[in-house]
Amino acid sequence: MSALLPLVSVIIPAYNASVFLPATLRSVLAQDYPNFEVWVVDDGSTDGTAAIVERFAREDDRVNLLRQQNAGVAAARNLGIRSARGEFVAPLDADDLWEVRALSLWVDRFLRSSERVGVVYGWSVDVDEDDRLTGGFHGARIRGRVLGTLLVHNFLGNASATMIRRSALLAIGGYDVTLRDRRAQGCEDWDLYLKLAEGWEFEVVAEFLVRYRKPIASMSQDDQQMARSHDLVLAALAGRSRLPGWMYALSRSSLYVHFAHQAAQFGKAAQARDWCRAAWQCDRVTPLLRPGWYRLRFGRASGVPASSTAGKAPSRSQIALKVWVSGILHFWVRVLVGR
């Protein structure tokens, strides 16, 4: 039966990932979709990452280990793509987790969609180092031609929430390895999705299928590098596309407000206000439409303490609001620019 189903290539870049990788691999091997292969790319780890993969490979021949000298996450993913044999590729970070039906639901959506669809995505919830919900989540029903919307609003949220047609990945040349060389890592996934959105349509499975790990220790520490990465991706897109300039300003503003919320969530009030000022400097319209911007920019207590949302799943009203807002944004982008 599984031979009749499309082969899916799961690609996991791993650098010193020994703490979380076993759980990640178990979440893959527990999938109810039978026809997949796993390529773990060890990106020059100095811990026990390779040994963990070798142990899993002895127990399950669907697991494969690739090794390279440390070259960054984009190069690791590209090596996995070159080795992959599947019709579809499913990227997964080495510390994230999939729900058991993730692959089957993504494949089913592809099989019920046209050849114009290059990406199918699902929803995700944020978890901390101990797998506890943090209160954060990503959910949208945006589909079809999404380039303009994806530019101003990264509704995908992370690198583990998509399945991609392998032919589309090969057509755009995979991930951009030059961002690392320019000390601007962070937006490799978003850059890839923008390139895919230029030529292919997106589809969605409106279910929470991913547990996206956001350790507290990593929050906000790479904001400046991420901002540089974001600027380089915008510059490259501007060279390829004729999208209007206000969309690029809105994209920067949205990123900076995200940084502000992230800083506030973990008690960094001064940093949150700095990012609010940066958002205001590049876009003096849309911050005024965001109630949270006023609280972050002028309020004494910036944001919600992380501990107050720990362990809480998103409520139906929170999900409905996020889906509605992203849908309205997508509608107006399509009306204004058609892409």
Q: What is the pLDDT of residues 25-38, one digit of tens each?
A: 999 999 999 999 99
pLDDT range class, residue 276, cuts 50, 70, 90: very high
pLDDT range class, residue 127, cuts 50, 70, 90: very high
Q: Give the separation between CA 315 and CA 304, rounded to whole angstroms.
A: 16
Query: Which region among 74-78, 91-95, 177-181, 213-217 has the lowest average model confidence (pLDDT)?
Result: 213-217
Pairing of strands 117-127, 162-165: antiparallel
pLDDT range class, residue 284, cuts 50, 70, 90: confident
pLDDT range class, residue 304, cuts 50, 70, 90: very low
Give 199-227 pLDDT, tens digit per residue: 999 999 999 999 999 876 554 457 889 99
Which structural domains are found in the chain, ordered by start?
2-218 (3.90.550.10)
- The pTM of the full predicted model, rounded to 2 decimals, is 0.93
For range 98-104, the mean pLDDT: 98
Q: Is the model's pLDDT at 251 over the cut of 50?
A: yes
Judge contact between 252 and 280, C-beta under 8 A: no
Identify the CA nearest to 87 among candidates 41, 44, 25, 36.
36
For range 130-156, the mean pLDDT: 95
**Which of the pair, 298 or 323, is modelled with greater confidence?**
323
pLDDT range class, residue 301, cuts 50, 70, 90: very low
For range 168-189, the mean pLDDT: 95
Q: Is the model's pLDDT at 307 over the cut of 50?
A: no
Q: Which amino acid is at 330?
A: H
Q: Assign 3-class secondary structure to the chain.
A: CHHHCCCEEEEEEECCCCCCHHHHHHHHHCCCCCCEEEEEEEECCCCCHHHHHHHHHHHCCCEEEEEECCCCHHHHHHHHHHHCCCCEEEECCCCCEECCCHHHHHHHHHHCCCCCEEEEEEEEEEECCCCCEEEEEECCCCCECCHHHHHHCCCCCCCCCEEEEHHHHHHHCCCCCHHHHCCCCCCHHHHHHHHHHHHCEEEEEEEEEEEEECCHHHCCCCHHHHHHHHHHHHHHHHHHCCCCHHHHHHHHHHHHHHHHHHHHHCCCHHHHHHHHHHHHHHCCCHHHHCHHHHHHHHCCCCCCCHHHCCCCCCCHHHHHHHHHHHHHHHHHHHHHHCC
Give 36-73 pLDDT, tens digit per residue: 999 999 999 999 999 999 999 999 999 999 999 999 99
pLDDT range class, residue 287, cuts 50, 70, 90: confident
Tokens of 124: 């995700």
Judge contact between 94 and 12, C-beta under 8 A: yes
